Amino acid sequence: MIIGTHIVMYSKQAEADRAFFRDILKLHTVDVGHGWLIFRLPPAEAACHPIDQGAQEANEEKHMAADLYFLCDDLHATIADLQANKIACTAVDEQRWGLRTSIVLPSGARIGLYQPKHQLAIEP
């Protein structure tokens, strides 16, 4: 049986981005050796979207390409909390499914953040 999900994020500045997840987002970690941190994530849900012009191609092993989005219940308050820690976010974009921004990581990479308007699969 499947017991969980492990997401691999590739970074040009892994140490700085790890510190962001640990120190700014306050995600619980386990150190599996040599400073290699694995983060406990909040409950998750997944959706399959068709590949379009904005989607990445799957890698040579044919793994699915994916984007990481964190969910929040108040996007503007979450952005204010991030900005208080000197973390930049992109402009807020309203979509039919919710309000969206991107968090700019220390490496310059971005992670999606949105306040959904739709029912969540993680809710009972």
At 107-117, the pLDDT tens digits run: 999 999 999 99
Asked if 116 contacts 123 with a C-beta cutoff of 8 angstroms, the reply is no
Query: Token match 């406990």: residue?
Result: 40
Angle formed at CA 111 by CA 16 and CA 93, multiple of 5 degrees: 140
Phi, psi for 77 (deg, rounded to 5) = -65, -40
The helix (run of H) or strand (run of E) holding residue 79 is: helix 75-84
pLDDT digits (tens, 9 = 90+) for 11-61: 999 999 999 999 999 999 999 988 889 999 999 988 888 876 555 555 556
Rounded CA gap, 83 and 75, in Å? 12
Q: How far apart are CA 29 and CA 27, in angstroms?
A: 6
What is the pTM assigned to this prediction? 0.81
Cα–Cα distance, 101 to 93 (Å, whole number)? 6
Q: Which residue has the higher pLDDT, 65 or 53?
A: 65
